[in-house]
Structure 1
Amino acid sequence: MMAESLESRKFERKPLFDVPLPVRGKTKEASSGAEPIEPATSGPGPTMAFSLLTKKGNRQQTRTVEVPSDSNFAVAMKNQQQVEREEQQRIKNLVLNYDLRENEEQDGEL
């Protein structure tokens, strides 16, 4: 029975690891008044900045990675963000419509 379960789950896709970045205070460089160093663009065309979360032992670090805007990763992230915004807007409209209907029903009863 356990072998069957392992076989059936062998080809399932694993969920993406998508977590928010940890909240942290200002870094020492920022508090000393130093200007942040802008990453050099390696090629022509626009780039997108992504935060890469790394973990060494118990210490988490974030690094900024510049990715070309036309790369598969950047396009997929833009699409995902657009879908999430549309879904959030749809939910917002549903809630607002529900409130409007509820108010109209209450006004009709009076």
Structure 2
Amino acid sequence: MAGVLIGLALLAFWLFSLFDVVTTPEDEVRNVPKPLWIIIVVVIPLLGGVVWMARGRPRAPRAAWPVPRARARRRDRTTTPTSCVTSTGGCAATTSPEPS
């Protein structure tokens, strides 16, 4: 019984590998041309399928690493902005007393 299950699992893997090679677009196949991959998977069923999965199958696109944002500067807690009405057009800052 165990031999039958192993045989069915190997047959399923071989059929999956063969179907995967046949349905993969020609321009996405890696390392060798697609017809050669079909021959490899058909002639060497188990090893050909493993090599196809490792070396011939197209890689899934990877997401780019997120770029960390620059941290906002912490304001000095002793200065608070006042009104932005000055002769130069900029904002003036005043010093507030320390809270007790």
Interval of TM-score (by shorter of Structure 1 and Structure 2): under 0.3
Structure label with greater radius of gyration:
2
Identify, as 1 or 2, the structure richer in strand: 1
| TM-score, normalised by the number of residues in structure 2 | 0.25
